[in-house]
Structure formats: structure tokens, C-alpha cells
A and B are shown apart, each in its own frame.
Chain A
Amino acid sequence: AQSVTQPDIHITVSEGASLELRCNYSYGATPYLFWYVQSPGQGLQLLLKYFSGDTLVQGIKGFEAEFKRSQSSFNLRKPSVHWSDAAEYFCAVGAMKTSYDKVIFGPGTSLSVIP
């Protein structure tokens, strides 16, 4: 069965510092991988996605993520964090299925940014 873990429940970084949010997945084949961001009281917005090809994918807002098959990971990175990046981040794994449970979300990592 598909599963997604995000080992860090909460991370605090200083503005301007680099950021890496961890995501590990479990799936029998190459999955579709996503990172979503949720600002307080808002819906989720897609940051980036990986389906195939280049394992380093670029997303919006200066984020990137790297798919590492050997580690079953899809970590999200940003070289310099801005205060507006404070939000909840969700990793998700999906599979092309006809059943309803196509996408599984991780529990989320809450990011705080210190000025």
C-alpha cells in the first residue's frame, strides 16, 4: 500500500537560511510525487510535481525537490527562505488507479520563519 511519511512535524528556520523538508514514501512502482503548501486558513496549492524524467524538479516560489529512488525520498529544498514561506507543507504520493484512493498525503510539516 502507498504511504507517505514526513519525519519533521515542525521546523523553524531563520529568514535567509536554507531549507530542506523531508519526505519518504512507500510504493511498489515509481509513483507520482507532489509537494503542496497550505497557508493558514487556506486551501492547498501545488508547489511542484514529479512524474518522470529529470529527478530534480523546479517549482513555484523558488522551491525545488529531488527524487531519489534508492532512498524512496522526495525532499523539498529552498536555498533562501523568506518570511512568507511560513506555512504547512504536505508531501503526497499518487498512482494512476481507477479506485478513489489515488493520492495519499503525508501528515505535513509546519514551517516557522524567524526574522
Chain B
Amino acid sequence: SQTIHQWPATLVQPVGSPLSLECTVEGTSNPNLYWYRQAAGRGLQLLFYSVGIGQISSEVPQNLSASRPQDRQFILSSKKLLLSDSGFYLCALEAGPVEAFFGQGTRLTVV
């Protein structure tokens, strides 16, 4: 069965520091992968979407970037974190027609 590993589970970073969140999947090949952000008390905002290695889609202007160096690896990055980057970051894969299967998330606090 498919699984998603996200790490770290929690992270506290100072403003201006870099960020790298990693998501790896198992039990599936060539998955479509998503990065979502969930701000406190708010719903999910889609940040990035990837259909394959090196293929990243995003229309949300932001301080973040994503990369997909391997089929089952999806990385969320920032060169300089802002306070507004705090939130709960979720990696997900497309488990069926439009159906998302989520990882356990990373709680990022920028201080």
C-alpha cells in the first residue's frame, strides 16, 4: 500500500533562514504529488503540484519553491523564511481520480 513520509514533523526556524521540507512516497510509481499549506484556523491552500521529475506547477506567488529530483521525492524550499510562512505543510499524492492521500504534515513555526 502507498505511504507518505514527511520530515521533520515539527520545525522552528528564524526569519531569514532557509527551509527544506522533504516528502517521499512508497508503494506507487510516477505519482502526481501536491504540497499544501494550512494556516491556523484556515483551510488548505494548494502550493505546488508535480506530475513527474522536474515538473512543477504553481500559480501562487510566494516565498517558496518546490523541486522533484526523483520520482518519489518532493521537496519544498525557501531561501529566506518570512513570518507569514508559518503553518502546517502537507504533502499529498493523487491516490485515485482527483483523490488525495496525505502525509502526516510538518508544523513550521517561523520566529
Q: List residues of chain A with CB under 8 Å of any chain B CB.
A: 32, 34, 36, 41-46, 49, 51, 90, 92, 94-96, 99-103, 105-108
Knowing A42-B104, A44-B90, the reply to whether A106 touches B98 (Cβ < 8 A) is no
The answer to whether B43 touches A34, judged by C-beta atoms less than 8 angstroms apart, is: no
Instruction: Type the 1/0 row for B61-100, where 1 means its CB is closer than 8 Å to any CB of A.
Output: 0000000000000000000000000000010101111111
CA distance A94 to B100 in the complex (A): 10
Name 12 A/B residue pairs within 8 A (Cβ), A-sorted: A36-B102, A41-B107, A43-B4, A43-B102, A92-B100, A100-B49, A100-B58, A102-B98, A103-B46, A103-B98, A105-B43, A105-B44
The answer to whether A43 touches B103, judged by C-beta atoms less than 8 angstroms apart, is: yes
- For B101, list chain A residues within 8 Å (CB): 46
The answer to whether B105 touches A43, judged by C-beta atoms less than 8 angstroms apart, is: yes
- For B42, list chain A residues within 8 Å (CB): 107-108
- For B46, list chain A residues within 8 Å (CB): 100-101, 103
B30 at the interface (CB under 8 A from A): no
CA distance A94 to B98 in the complex (A): 6
B28 at the interface (CB under 8 A from A): no
